[in-house]
Amino acid sequence: MLAVRLGIVIFAHGSSVPSANDAVRTVSNEVAKAGGYQLIETAFLEARPSLEDAVVQLANRGAARILVIPYFLTLGIHLQRDLPLLIQQLEQTNPTVHITVAPPLDGHPCLADIVLDRIETALQE
């Protein structure tokens, strides 16, 4: 049995500030390296590359299954309304690719640890 090639998209809001988008790309690169993922792309809702660009790129590189990781803290309007519509459109235009979406970052136990770390760091300055 052949393993389905997995593609991963780290999907963020995007910013007009290039360094903000670069920070997301850095996380994507770190995830790729730490997880050993070869097919990983970064995409943005309101910047480039778009989610469509990333899905097409991964499909062209052989991904048959794509997992979208929302780089959003909470399940806000973009994840409740915009992302499902984008996924629906992408599945219609890319019928050979199966796309799934992970939950947002909210609720993960490490978030409290991150906030505590930021508090401690700020108090030491």
Question: Model-level pTM?
Answer: 0.92
Instruction: Count other Cβ atoms within 10 Å, centred on residue 29.
Output: 13
Cα-to-chain-centroid distance, residue 38: 15
User: And the tokens for 25?
Assistant: 């790309």
CATH numbers and ranges of domains, the chain: 6-124 (3.40.50.1400)
Give the pLDDT confidence of 64-83 residue by residue, as tens digits. 999 999 999 998 999 999 99
Residue with tokens 């997880």: 35
Low-confidence ranges of the chain (pLDDT < 70): 1-3
